[in-house]
């Protein structure tokens, strides 16, 4: 029983820390273009095209922040 409570406390603490980190830093570097906002051609590095995954910003919303925004949107629509 103690192990279950301790595990629940650890998981809650991790969720709280992750939630706070999503509030402080809602964006992270795009994993497709590594935050460069453009793709470089492997054969000719001088050629590049905008990254469509991050819409050429180099940043993407973190999963926790995206879930929070979705929940807020659903709540707002329900009122
Ligand atoms: Zn990108």
pLDDT, tens digit, 9 for 90 and up, residues 17-76: 999 999 999 999 999 999 999 988 888 878 889 999 999 999 999 999 999 999 999 999
Domain tally, the chain: 1
Inter-residue contact 58 to 36 (CB < 8 Å): yes
Q: According to the model, what pLDDT value does residue 26 have?
A: 95
Range of the domain at 9: 2-78
pTM (two decimals): 0.70
Q: According to the model, what pLDDT value does residue 1 have?
A: 78
In angstroms, rounded to a whole number, what is the distance separating the alpha carbons of residues 20 and 23?
5
Q: According to the model, what pLDDT value does residue 70 have?
A: 96
Cα of 24 to ligand 1 centre, how many Å?
21
- Tokens at 44, concatenated: 């000719």
Inter-residue contact 62 to 16 (CB < 8 Å): no
Cα of 40 to ligand 1 centre, how many Å?
11
Helix (H) or strand (E) holding 3, with range, is helix 2-24
Q: According to the model, what pLDDT value does residue 22 have?
A: 93
């Amino acid at each position: 029983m103690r192990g279950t409570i301790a595990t629940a406390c650890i998981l809650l603490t991790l969720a709280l820390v992750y939630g706070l980190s999503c509030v402080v830093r809602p964006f992270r570097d795009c994993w497709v273009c590594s935050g460069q906002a453009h793709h470089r051609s492997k054969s000719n590095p001088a050629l590049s095209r905008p990254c469509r995954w991050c819409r050429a910003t180099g940043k993407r919303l973190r999963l926790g922040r995206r879930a929070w925004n979705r929940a807020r949107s659903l709540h707002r629509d329900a009122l």
